[in-house]
Amino acid sequence: MEKYPTIYWTPCAAHCINLMFKDIFELKHFQTTYKRALKLSVYIHSKTKLLNLFRKFTGKRELVKFAKTRFATTFLTFKRLKEHKNKLIKLFNCEEFLTSNYSKEEAAKECGRIVQMPSFWNTLHEALKVGGPLMSTLRMVDGDVKPAMGYVYPAMELTKAAIARAFNNNQSKFKKVFDIIDTRWTSQLRQPLHAAAFFLNPDFFRFPGELEVSSTINSAEVVSGFYECLERLVPNEDLQAKIVNEVSIWELRRGLFSSSFAKKQRGVKPPVDWWTSFGASAPHLKEFAIKLLSLTTSASGCERNWSVFEHVRIVIVMQEPRISIFLFI
């Protein structure tokens, strides 16, 4: 950072949310259900005939396998188990299973008991109430549709609000979950860069009389984050001054920002495209906003690229005589 003072370092948002899933499903309340779901999934996948029988009941639908490092897959496994609750109960009580050698195994008997437990399904349902909003946020920050930088800052507040609604605002049901989210969010994702991008995101651009995104969002922190980013990312003081002079045009909805077209296109056009279309009244701020809102929040794309690189490298090594088939651009 000392060598490159105009570069921001921020953790991968997708990895941070993945770790939230890890911490949440390690809570004692969910841990027992997690172990039972794991036992159920592993047993079904370990028995080919039983897996085929499961596919027969579900119309060839699969159970999502647990992953050791992708903790969000726990939610996906829970969701699939919940979807097939009745079919799983039917599976472990059907004649084809009961007359098979599997039914005599202790592991099979335990799985049969698990699918009959109301407490198992009730806790699974609670886990889905927590995981659903988090999974939506994970898909947003890790998606390829549009850069997510402008959405990270309010994401956790909106996620927590959705979880609270799912539990009818009964704090005893989600307090420990919120503590986990807040700890990860504060230590990893509460960055000036995210606050600045939120400040410039037209999707959260409010006209007089419109409701704010969330009453719990700290507006002073948002504005402070914007100016901190401006100072770091734009070292030229003359350009800084020009951008600062244009901030009031943005904040007071003057010029093209006040047009009905700009208002209607919020949430329709991606933020970068919106600024390209309606930012002419503040050209220097427009350039800074586009730069900021174009940033990615996840390292997943880099992981995928490295996977491709490794695959190509292996092919080259293994098929050296055929090296001429590769075209380098």
User: Does 119 reside within a domain?
Assistant: yes
Q: Is the dihedral of CA 217, 218, 222, 225 positive or negative?
A: negative
Does residue 265 lie in a domain region? yes
pLDDT greater at residue 194 or residue 72: 194
* pLDDT at residue 271 in the model: 95
pLDDT over threshold 60, residue 68: no
Whether residue 1 lies inside any domain: the answer is: no
Asked whether residue 311 is assigned to any structural domain, the reply reads no
pLDDT score at 311? 40
Contact 87, 58 (CB under 8 A): yes
Phi, psi angles (nearest 5°) of residue 243 = -65, -45
Specify the long-range contacts of residues 62-69, CB closer than 8 Å, at least 24 apart: 65/41, 66/38, 66/41, 66/42
**What pLDDT sits at residue 313?**
40
- Looking at the 3D structure of the chain, how many domains does it have? 2
Does one domain contain both 271 and 283? yes
Whether 173 and 270 map to the same domain: the answer is no
User: To which residue do tokens 């006040």 refer?
Assistant: 258
pLDDT classification of 328: cutoffs 50, 70, 90? very low
- Rounded CA-CA distance 287/250 in Å is 13
Average pLDDT over residues 179-187: 91
Q: Do both 53 and 76 map to the same domain?
A: yes
CA angle, residues 93, 39, 61, in degrees to nearest 5:
65
Residues 106 and 78 in one domain: yes
- Summarize pLDDT for 160-174 with one digit per residue, the tens: 999 999 999 999 999
Say what the pLDDT of residue 111 is. Answer: 93
| Position 325 confidence tier, pLDDT thresholds 50, 70, 90 | very low
pLDDT tens readout for residues 14-61: 889 999 999 999 999 899 999 999 999 889 888 888 888 888 888 777
pLDDT of residue 303: 56
pLDDT tens track for 116-143: 999 999 999 999 999 999 999 999 988 7
Residues 138, 203, single domain; the answer is no
Residues 154 and 268 in one domain: no
Kindly state the percentage of the chain with pLDDT values over 70. 84
DSSP class of 188: I
Q: What is the pLDDT of residue 57?
A: 82
For 285-298, the pLDDT digits (tens) are 999 999 999 998 87
Query: Are residue 92 and residue 29 in the same domain, yes or no?
Result: yes
Please check whether residue 209 lies inside any domain of the structure.
yes
CA 309 – CA 299 distance, rounded (Å): 16
Within-domain flag for 149 = yes
| Residue 271 forms part of a structural domain | yes
Which domain covers residue 199, as residue numbers?
Answer: 191-293
CB atoms inside a 10 Å sphere around CB 56: 13
Q: Note whether 93 and 141 are same-domain residues.
A: yes
Q: Is residue 132 part of a domain?
A: yes
Average pLDDT over residues 9-13: 85
Asked if residue 305 has pLDDT above 90, the reply is no
Look at residue 302 in the predicted model and tell me its pLDDT.
60
Give yes or no: residues 155 and 24 share one domain. Answer: yes
> Among residues 153, 188, 223, which one ends one of the domains?
188
What pLDDT is recorded for position 308?
39
Q: Are 89 and 18 in a shared domain?
A: yes
Q: Mean pLDDT highest for which of 61-70, 123-132, 310-319?
A: 123-132
Token reading at 67: 């992953």
Domain boundary among 127, 153, 188: 188
- Residue-wise pLDDT tens digits, 203-258: 987 765 555 655 557 788 999 999 999 999 999 999 999 999 999 999 988 999 99
| Residues 76, 66: Cα–Cα separation, whole Å | 9
The tens digit of pLDDT for each residue in 86-113 reads 999 998 999 988 998 888 999 999 999 9
Residues 32 and 173 in one domain: yes
**Last residue of a domain, which of 188, 218, 247?**
188
Highest mean pLDDT among 139-143, 187-191, 269-273, 296-300: 269-273
116 shares its domain with 167:
yes
